[in-house]
Chain A
Amino acid sequence: MSFVHRYVSDGRLRLTDAGIDEDLAQPEGESDLARADLVFYGVAHSRGSYEGRVFFNNPDAEAQTPQDYEHGYAGSYWVFGHENCDGDPGHCDPDWGAAEDVVDFRRPHHLLPETALVDVTDALRNIAGLADGITVTVVAVRTPGYGDEDRPPLRFDHLRLLTYG
């Protein structure tokens, strides 16, 4: 059983001086790229476990795409999820926008979104033609189990490419 849900970026992640992420440009005098992380913020884990396979510049990637540099494979993140809501209505609806309340001593909601990161250092070094930016494709492949295939698991708030010199 393999359920796939895809996300394709619009190529806004850029590594050039002309790109919108100017801070990603290599500062003068600093060494070459030492490490790069692709960080997914606000990852939902309420819909079952899956592997999020990340491909660079391969918007047609799917579950059967080989996981190698030739096909743009950059790495994976894994979500260990809750397949179902086991409570009454509302039990699994975290207040995503709540401000922190210093006198609220209850534990955070168990479905508050997570952060996931993928080390894409090697993949980034293998990419040519950065001037056009990077298209990021995420293919979610569900963990084999008892998942509801009508509920796509792939949801996150935004992603960010962080590079370190």
Chain B
Amino acid sequence: MPSIPVRPIRQAPQRLRIRRNINLLTPDQLAKFRAAWKASYALNDNRGYAHFAGLHGLPLPTECSHNDTFWLPWHRAYLYFFEMSLRDIDPTVTLPWWSWASGKLPVAYRTTANSNPLHHAAIPANAQVPGGPSQTDRMGPRPGSLPTQAQITSVLKRGDFLDFSARLRQLHNSVHGQIGGSMGLIENSAFDPIFWAHHSYVDRAWRLWQLEHPSTGLPQSVLNQALAPFPMTVQQTLSVTGLGYDYARSTLSLPFSAQGGAS
């Protein structure tokens, strides 16, 4: 009987990239993330940080959507394209998420040591608000002011998408307000590096809700809508694995060892 030929693998299968809890990154993961972030600051064209941060508010046009139907799909697309730009710099990097229930900003974003690029970012002159600063700042949050796990769990139990979306948006709004400063303004919030970890958590919450409510979702009438300025429709945002990523608390990769498997 002839043997079945083994076809050579022409391309390694694409692995899901994983977004992790910022507080559980390994030192190496955090160092690479910071390096990619810093490199993004240095790009002044449409691959760089200022370009993506500016899409949210200033400079005009303001592209973000904050109504209950579109804000989750739009921000999923937003994070996707920014994350891809970071991965052009370092393909091992993903956007981490920050749990509000931790009660405070992550150390990775608070520390000023080593010119931490996650502490603040420059705001270009054409994106500054009248009387506002030329770099991001924060004025909070006060202890005990961030959403609790009980509040988040309560929102995740909502059975209707628009109800879930509206309540999650309220918690999201409160985080913007409690941090204040640049995060308190739609015009400048995306320039603050914590914005992306904050919205990664929002996106994770939507992912968790989708897993619990697989048969419900957005109104059919909006699925084919484009999410400008991104070449993506609402429908395309409905599956994070379809976009090539998923969420986990942490990851740790170990090399194979001929002496006993993974070491």
Q: Which residues of A contact B (CB under 8 A)?
A: 45, 48-51, 76-84, 86-87, 107-108, 110, 112, 114-117, 119, 143-146
Contacts and interface: CB of A to CB of B under 8 A. Distances in A.
A78 B167 CA distance: 11
Nearest to A46: B186
Interface of B: 57-58, 60, 62, 64-68, 129-132, 139-140, 154, 166-167, 170, 172-174, 176-177, 180-182, 184-187, 189, 228
A13 B43 CA distance: 55
A114 B67 contact: yes
Given A87-B60, A117-B167, A146 B185 contact: yes
Nearest to B68: A115
A102 to B, nearest CB: 11
Given A108-B67, A114-B66, A117-B167, A82 B187 contact: yes
A143 B175 CA distance: 11
A84 B130 contact: yes
Contacts of B173: 49, 77-80
A78 B174 contact: yes
Contacts of A108: 67
Nearest to A145: B184
A143 B180 CA distance: 6
A91 B129 CA distance: 16
Given A80-B186, A83-B187, A146 B132 contact: yes
Contacts of A49: 173, 176-177, 184-186
B132 A51 contact: no
A76 B130 CA distance: 28
Nearest to B175: A78
16 contacts: A49-B176, A50-B177, A51-B174, A77-B173, A78-B170, A78-B173, A78-B177, A80-B177, A82-B62, A82-B185, A86-B60, A108-B67, A110-B65, A112-B67, A144-B181, A145-B185
A77 B170 CA distance: 6
A83 B129 contact: yes
